[in-house]
Amino acid sequence: MAVDIDEELISKWAYTVRPLMVDFIQRRPSKFAVEVWRGSIASYNECLQDTDVVIGIEIIEHLFPLVLEAIPHNIFGLIRPKVALFSTPNSEYNVHFDGLLETGFRHEDHKFEWTRAQFREWCENICQRFPEYVVKYFGIGPQPKDSPDVGPVSQMGVFVRKDFLEVLEAKRAAQAEGGAVTTQVASTVQSEEPPGPSGEGQPAEPKIYFDEEVGEIVMERDEDPNDLDAAIAPGHGLEEFRDVLDEVDSNGDDIDPSDDEDQPLGRDIDYYIPVERSRNDSGNYDDELLDPTSDEYKLIYSVDYPVQEPDLRQRPERLLEEAEYQIRRLRLQQEDYYHYEENEYRIPLQLVVSCMHADLTTDLDELRPILAGASYRISEANVITLNGDDESVLGSEEDFEYDLDEEEVPAEGGQGDAWDGADGGGGGGGPGSEGDRLDEELWD
């Protein structure tokens, strides 16, 4: 679901949420729908019920004080998502930008730009008013090497509801009891700066840094095969939020949610309000004024994505068809498996399995008898042998035949006469002419 206050803008760009061609080719296994709504981030509507995650990327700095002050009550008091993410520019990084506005801001529609301390103050105020949430901070973008004290270019606060954390941790504990998790992940707190190398005898911490070669932020870690299950276990990484939660619980006596219940969050913030403006949203101030009732929600566009038809095949049939598809693909694309002297293809069974969808199988012992039952020759070394002339796998020439439309078939005396005239130097272009004999020799 996408929500914006500018109806004209989102109506213009609503088409971008339509399914792509790949969505029709690779259909989703479950229902997925996208809705575009006109509405305000500070107003509640029934369409926002049961929202699991709220994402506000680079939006709060565009809001006026009254709207900004209404956000916490709407998001954390009414919608109550499991997770909420808010990001905003880090004003400390602005010393590295040329061409800032007279206000010192990056964009003409920005009402303010916060330092990291100011952003944390805003987030902590929310957690005091709504103690069922905890927050974790993350830096966005690499920090400049020459002045790392200014921090990253932008900053994000991730709010997580405590009961949701507890549910995830319960699932993680259940998997640990069942043997899915074999090691205990040490509690870590992510730093905005790339961590240095770990000491001797200490487990290596993930290293997050900016890779200049690829131009992206990457995470490097030493993987242990014994930790693979733990890495994909639900709730992995909860220890970061658990550190915050423990800290909040330990200081719970010092926090009185009623103290800030009615206090505006932006009371100590200096706002810049442009003088020559005719609207109050995202900078399109040359247009007409917004409708005063624009706080009301209105559905602009909705679309359902293609969904897979129910698969009624039995498991052996599914495995056979998927394996045969991978065998055909490998035979067509990988000439390395073709042996010319024997005129046969030799494709490792393990390679076929590794190309198949992980939800189907990774067991050679399960797939081997299925392929053997379909008359495939499999050696003791688990290599599939295919005859180079076997049309049952690659397909015959008849599979690639097609019929020309009647309009494309040259009529008698038409295109053929033109060629005969050009070759024969006259009107001798009938059947059996010199031009026909030359054509037959060329085709032969």
Mean pLDDT of 322-332: 89
258-271 pLDDT, tens digit per residue, is 444 444 444 455 55
pTM of the model: 0.56
pLDDT given at position 153: 93
Average pLDDT over residues 412-438: 52
pLDDT at 186 (0 to 100): 34
In percent, the amount of the chain with pLDDT more than 90 equals: 36
User: What per-residue confidence (pLDDT) applies to 81?
Assistant: 95
Instruction: Point out the least confidently predicted range of 55-64, 139-148, 171-180, 181-190.
Output: 181-190
Specify whether domain 40-175 bears CATH 3.30.2020.30: no
- What pLDDT score was predicted for residue 421? 46
Q: Residue ranges of the domains in the chain? A: 40-175, 315-394
pLDDT at 294 exceeding the cut of 80: no
Cα-Cα end-to-end distance for the chain? 64
In this prediction, residues 194-216 reach a mean pLDDT of: 50
The answer on pLDDT for 226 being more than 60 is no
Whole-number Å distance between alpha carbons of 356 and 351: 9
Residue 158: band (very low, low, confident or very high) from pLDDT cuts 50, 70, 90: very high
What mean pLDDT value characterizes the chain?
75
Place of tokens 């760009």: 13
The reported pLDDT for the residue numbered 232 is 45
CA dist list (Å): 41 to 45, 108, 286, 296, 322: 10, 21, 22, 11, 47
Q: What is the mean pLDDT of residues 120-142?
A: 94
Position with higher pLDDT, 269 vs 130: 130
Q: Quick one: how many helices (H) and strands (E) in the chain?
A: 13, 13
Distances (CA, A) of 122 to 58, 71, 77, 118, 264: 15, 11, 16, 6, 10
pLDDT digits (tens, 9 = 90+) for 63-97: 999 999 999 999 999 999 999 999 999 999 998 88
pLDDT per position as a tens digit, 36-46: 999 998 999 99
**Type and span of the H or E element at 218:** strand 216-220
Residue 391, SS3 per DSSP: helix
Give me the pLDDT at residue 55, please. 95
